[in-house]
A and B are shown apart, each in its own frame.
Chain A
């Protein structure tokens, strides 16, 4: 019993080390390994500890974990900690098949990145930026700090929580979360927040004001922008955004191409004296 107790304190220490190392996972990002070196570096405390008496197995473990890796980093710690727990098992059980480790890793990277990118890149970062930009536009020094705090506190909390979870519950837990549909509920709630925020930001940040006027004789004037506004306020911004969205998602138009197209559009509108 006392032995088991001491084991878990060591694991706790190793896990903390994994957590801190995981911050650097994509530091030397490149097309050969992406986060491979960072993954290996993050779980190295476990490899060093559990294979310390077996240099051959240690080499095998390092080789196994230096392979290509990419998952959104603040949720990827789940995969790291899970792999760490599997490496530990491998070092203790003779009949453990180490091939299962990379198979597991490969199967989790996609789903974790899908949810992680949406939550952190698509939603949390946008919410944080939306709040902070109001301050920045007024020249308030608080802007960058608000942005960093609103983004990083949940991000770091999630990173730590998933580190612990990955090591203790194993992959079964995630499978159950998927099977029970809980993941869908969470994603849907987050998407609701994200869409409301994106709608608000489209309205406040995509701007267009037409300067086109027609003189109808006498003191009668036809102002294009007034007509547009009376149809729907922000008609051009929301239409343009949705057209871009349609082109990006349905027509698979390249992001860069779209950027260049909008620049050309803006200059054309100006040359034609529409805006």
Chain B
């Protein structure tokens, strides 16, 4: 496969997964575990795509772009890292070394396109003031296309321009640095999980985090079993809390309704 064909396929896959994610309800098609296998399949090495997609998913798990704050673009890093890994024959060593730096670059690009597309804000306001619903819609889809087309072009150019230098760069790295990058691959998910902990943490529930950790570290349960244990505990505690809530709400109602004993009796009977 020529580099140009490979670059075209990567750009197309990226457009479908990343653009499609935002066109169709944030369906998470831009997550590494989805885009990785697709890139692998298109470049003729599905197995590498699957395995690297899974490891990069761990690396990027905490890249949560909540409320428009962008720092990392996981799909950008994943697409290029896996493409270079397969095209250069360097495998996971290459992918893990460059995925996060590329993800950061992708994040910058995303900020850039968000600013660029903001210039259409006035056009939308004008269309609304004219009562022109059709124009609002065509801008809605037009700006979508423009934004993700820019991304696809950048991916295309990056695959063509980057293949040789990336291979050279990775091969020229001293062993200690290469080993260091492998160490980073193991440590970086910590930042991601920290980011996610920030969303769900509460001091009262922190013991459940420890429980999940111990289930895997000492009992060596697979993650699907951990998820099942989690569901069971969530349902148990949820039902218990619901019961407490009903009791307290009920007693509140009782105290407010002391002046109307009739309705209280009805409550009791029903």
Contacts and interface: CB of A to CB of B under 8 A. Distances in A.
User: Which of under 10, 10 to 19, 20 to 34, or 35 or more describes the interface residues of A?
Assistant: 35 or more
Given A32-B121, A193-B234, A206-B190, A129 B181 contact: no
B131 A59 contact: yes
A202 B195 CA distance: 12
Given A44-B136, A125-B28, A271-B180, A266 B67 contact: no
Identify which of A135, A144, A147, A258 gathers the most chain B CB atoms within 10 Å of its CB: A144
B51 A198 contact: no
B200 A194 contact: yes
A238 B189 CA distance: 11
A206 B187 contact: yes
B35 to A, nearest CB: 8
B189 A248 contact: no
Contacts of A152: 25, 27-28
B257 interface: no
Interface stretch (A2-10, A90-98, A115-123, A220-228): A115-123
A143 B33 contact: yes
B191 A143 contact: no
A27 interface: yes
B145 to A, nearest CB: 9
B192 to A, nearest CB: 9
Contact of A245 (B47, B201, B208): B201
State the main secondary structure of chain A at its contact with B: helix
Interface in A232-271: 233-234, 237-238, 240-242, 244-245, 247-249, 254-256, 258-259, 262-263, 265-271
B198 A248 contact: yes
User: Which of under 10, 10 to 19, 20 to 34, or 35 or more describes the interface residues of B?
Assistant: 35 or more
Contacts of A62: 127-129, 131, 133, 136
B14 to A, nearest CB: 15
Given A27-B22, A192-B208, A259 B140 contact: no
Interface string B165-203: 000000000001101110111111111011111111110
A237 B216 CA distance: 13
A102 interface: no
B37 A27 contact: no
A139 B184 CA distance: 23
B50 A202 contact: no
Interface stretch (A18-26, A81-89, A161-169): A18-26
Interface in B69-120: 71-72, 100, 104, 107, 113-120
Contacts of B269: none
11 contacts: A30-B147, A44-B136, A66-B125, A143-B33, A186-B238, A201-B223, A202-B190, A203-B212, A204-B216, A248-B198, A258-B191
4 closest residue pairs by CB, A with B: A199-B212, A32-B121, A136-B54, A270-B180
Interface of A: 22-24, 26-34, 36-38, 40-41, 44, 47-48, 55, 58-59, 62-63, 65-66, 70, 73-74, 113, 117-118, 121-123, 125-137, 139-141, 143-144, 147-148, 151-152, 155-156, 159, 180-182, 184-186, 188-209, 233-234, 237-238, 240-242, 244-245, 247-249, 254-256, 258-259, 262-263, 265-271, 275
